[in-house]
Amino acid sequence: MSQGWATPPAPRPPALAAAAPALSAVTRALAAAALVLAAASLVAPAGAGSPPRFDVEAPPVTSVDDGRPIPPPAARGWNEIRAFIDDHWLWPVTDLLGARGRPPAQDVNALDEVPVSAWYAGPSAGDAAAGTTATGLELRAPLTVDAARTRGDEPCLWVRDSGGRAFLLILDDPRRPERQTAAALIAGRLLRAAGYHTPPGGIGAVSRADLVLGEDPVAIGEFGGGRRLDAAALDRLFAGSPRRVAAFSLPAGTRLGGFRERGTRPDDPNDRIPHEHRRSLRGLAPLCAWLDHRRVDEAHTLDLYLDEGRHVRHYLTQLGHALGAGDPVPPSGAARGLSGAFQAQGFDPPAWRTRQPYAPFEALEWADLFWGLRVLLAIPETEIRAAVAAARYADAGIEGEMVGLLLERRERIGRAWLGRMNGAFAFRLEERAPGRWQLACADLAASHGLRSPEDVSFAMTLRLPETGRVLGLQTRGGGVPAFDLAPFMPPVWAHRLDPRRYAVAEIRSWDHAGRALEGRACVHLYFDREAGPRIVGIVRD
């Protein structure tokens, strides 16, 4: 049974959002007993619920030092049967036995952003600026095949060209020309525009005559594992050569297999945050729903130990089943058969599911979802059009239809989720008059035209953590709400240096019908006597 991202809770849920449907009766009984015992032992710590306090002098971290040189980690394989057992049996029971909840994401800085790291490169629109054709990706034959998946519905090859450069080649199913190569290229470019590590790629053609076997080539099985690749397998794969391919260039390095959805890689000291607690992976959920990338698992990722720098970088790869490319072609031929079941009409974002449960999506919190939506909505339309153009569809009409589907699906995702959420973001401090400051923000949905500013309102209260006092209440409309801080400032702050010049502005919102929207934003402020107030932290819950 397909499962996917859990609906973010409010308040935080118990250890497991939804038990896996494949649990046996015995397993369910054991799990239930364990949950009762664990719940009985839980005691709230002293001071639970008190807000964190940020270092008022430390700047927010914008880049993580997780690229320190390390010895080469061991490569490891992937097995779909093992992954199924983990997803449906082992991990659900482990969660219940441990009474695990959903801790907040751990790869965020003081301003609730994801810093640049070996996991996340930060948004970029470089591909659109480079045009629709790949640059520097021309394959120079002969191509030495190091590994290949020749069976199943995701054919691919790992090759090195005559110059020693490494490439991943995605091939189409001959019965569905252009579908998987286009999907892999479009999804890869758009995820890179969103900030993820995906290899740059382009569309080309490869024939059997271009290929030679490496010294110890591996045939990757449908369910993982591997055996020796022989020439006959390549002959069968390229029986109708030349074949259209999506070619992705990889930095020089050693492939280590994919990254696990839980825990860390034990032989990589730079990998310190459990993967299920990374916002960069949790917040991927709305992007995967947008692209209909349902095969989110270890097999569709890559850990690469880089020759330059001698550290591991984490990639999203093998995206050929995105955009509905892995689905049967419906009789009506959605998007003329090339995008399969990839549609906008009838698309229900909260109901979207991955093929198998994915731990980071199961741990999704409102703050993670909001970050992912912000990243998704920030991708320029020019980048979307350039990504689709780079797929080189033979039918120009399909290109326009695919762009339309992507734009409409993105709008549906924004409306479906932001219609339920507090959209306050882009916080800033403005000096209205000498010494009189206001905290301004914007509404994410309104800023992208997904709701009218008149349909949302905001309220702010100011808390003083040192004294426990809550000062007043201000309400504002949703256009460009700005809250006057002067009435809240204790008079003593204006006259002498006070180490307690720390406050938390708590912002909530309501829709036009007066319904409270999910989530609150807590903006941490420090009132510097000389320079005025500044934002030192943001927390969403």
- pLDDT tens string for the chain (541 positions)? 445 565 565 433 322 233 333 333 333 333 333 322 232 322 233 333 455 689 998 999 999 999 999 999 999 875 555 555 555 556 565 555 554 567 899 999 999 999 999 999 998 745 554 444 444 468 899 999 999 998 888 899 999 999 999 999 999 888 788 999 999 999 999 999 999 999 999 999 999 999 999 999 999 876 556 688 999 999 999 987 799 999 999 999 999 999 999 999 999 999 999 999 999 999 999 999 999 999 999 999 999 999 999 999 999 999 999 999 987 655 444 444 455 578 999 999 999 999 989 999 999 999 999 999 999 999 999 999 999 999 999 998 999 999 999 999 999 999 999 999 999 999 999 999 988 899 999 999 999 999 999 999 999 999 988 888 888 899 998 778 999 998 887 776 655 556 568 999 999 999 999 999 999 999 999 988 788 899 999 999 8
For 155-189, give one letter per residue: b (16+ CB within 10 A) or e: bbbbbbbeeebbbbbbbbeeebebbbbbbbbbbbb
Q: What CA–CA distance (Å, rounded) separates 417 from 265?
A: 33
Lay out the sheet containing 312-316: strands in order across: 253-255, 301-306, 312-316
Residues 6+ apart with CB under 8 A from 524: 51, 53, 54, 502, 503, 504, 505, 535, 536, 537, 538, 539
Length of the chain: 541
Give the 3-state secondary structure of residue 523. Answer: strand
Q: How far apart are CA 430 and CA 308, in angstroms?
A: 44
Domains in the chain and their CATH numbers? 126-418 (no CATH), 424-540 (2.60.40.10)
C-alpha to C-alpha distance for 181 and 154, rounded to whole angstroms: 10
Q: At what angle do helices 25-41 and 91-98 cross, to 10 degrees?
A: 20
Q: What angle do CA 176, 178, 183 make, to 5 degrees?
A: 105
Taking alpha carbons only, the member of 315, 312, 311 closest to residue 300 is 315
Q: Is the distance from CB of 324 to CB of 292 less than 8 angstroms?
A: yes
pTM score > 0.85 for this model?
yes
